């Protein structure tokens, strides 16, 4: 059997070749977000439910979870745009979400990046149908330049310029999620 080699060499990053956001900066910011979230939910009677939007937010969520000082459960939802070229159609398909789990629960959506805002909006709408006690959004990155729908980000890591980014869970064509820093693709 031949050995299959998969090229996952980092692509050319920013023009300076440096990371846009270093892993050390990310770690500091995520710890602070964890403290803020823990304060915000200090008095709730049931464990917080972190609803992680697959796949990009998994790395952020894993670090955020470990920076909380309040009990939290983990749930996941897969969100994908319908078919090809549907970014403009605004239709988001949701899958794998455990239905009926959120009634009277405090739900924190966890997203890697809010771009158009459609993904966060679609998930939030679905969760609201199940009558949660509260619903808030934590997003590591906010790229306001491409916003189409108005979403409130309650806990936000960094605001970034209008560049596509990879690393720390964010992918390009499924790759580069393993990079510890966040890089811009040109
Ligand atoms: P929105 O629905 O337009 O807000 O898009 C959000 C989703 O698109 C995120 O959950 C990401 O998975 C993906 N996405 C948007 N921008 C980027 C990026 O710069 N790098 C990697 N993924 C991105
Ligand atoms: Mg995503």
Predicted confidence (pLDDT) per residue in 15-38, tens digit: 446 799 999 999 999 999 999 999
Report pLDDT digits (tens) over 58-107. Answer: 999 999 999 999 999 999 999 987 655 434 467 888 988 886 679 999 99
Query: What's the confidence (pLDDT) of residue 86?
Result: 38
Report pLDDT digits (tens) over 113-157. Answer: 999 999 999 999 999 999 999 999 999 999 999 999 999 999 999
Report how far ligand 2's centroid is from the alpha carbon of 2 (Å): 34
Mutate-to-test residue for ligand 1 from 56, 168, 184, highest number of ligand atoms within 8 A of CB? 56
Res. 45: pLDDT tops 70: yes
Task: Identify the CATH assignment for 24-81+92-184 out of 2.170.130.10, 3.40.50.920, 3.40.50.2020, 3.30.70.1520.
Answer: 3.40.50.2020
Query: What's the confidence (pLDDT) of residue 2?
Result: 58
Residue with tokens 């939007």: 53
Domain coordinates in residue numbering, the chain: 24-81+92-184
Query: What's the confidence (pLDDT) of residue 81?
Result: 73
Ligand 1: which atom is nearest the Cα of residue 146? 3
Query: What's the confidence (pLDDT) of residue 82?
Result: 60
Q: List all residues 6 or more positions away from 79 whose beta carbon is below 8 Å from its beta carbon.
A: 53, 54, 92, 93, 94, 95, 119, 122, 123
Task: Give the active site residue among 63, 115, 142, 181.
Answer: 115
Look at ligand 1, atom 20, and give the residue with the nearest C-alpha. 165
Res. 109: pLDDT tops 90: yes
Give the bridge partners for 113, in sequence order.
141
Report how far ligand 1's centroid is from the alpha carbon of 18 (Å): 21
């Amino acid at each position: 059997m031949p050995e299959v080699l998969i090229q996952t060499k980092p692509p050319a990053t920013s023009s300076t070749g440096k990371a846009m956001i270093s892993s050390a900066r990310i770690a500091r910011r995520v710890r602070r977000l964890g403290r803020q979230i823990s304060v915000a939910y200090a008095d709730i009677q049931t464990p917080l439910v972190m609803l992680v939007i697959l796949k990009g937010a998994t790395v952020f969520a894993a670090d955020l979870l470990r920076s909380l000082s309040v009990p939290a459960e983990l749930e996941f939802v897969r969100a994908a745009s319908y078919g090809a070229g549907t970014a403009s159609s605004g239709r988001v398909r949701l899958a794998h979400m455990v239905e009926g789990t959120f009634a009277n629960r405090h739900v924190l959506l966890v997203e890697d990046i809010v771009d158009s805002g459609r993904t966060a909006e679609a998930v939030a709408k679905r969760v609201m149908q199940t009558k949660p006690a509260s619903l808030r959004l934590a997003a590591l990155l906010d790229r306001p330049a491409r916003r189409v729908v108005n979403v409130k980000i309650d806990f936000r890591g960094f605001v970034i310029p209008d560049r596509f980014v990879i690393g720390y869970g964010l992918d390009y064509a499924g790759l580069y999620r393993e990079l510890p820093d966040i890089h811009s693709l040109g």
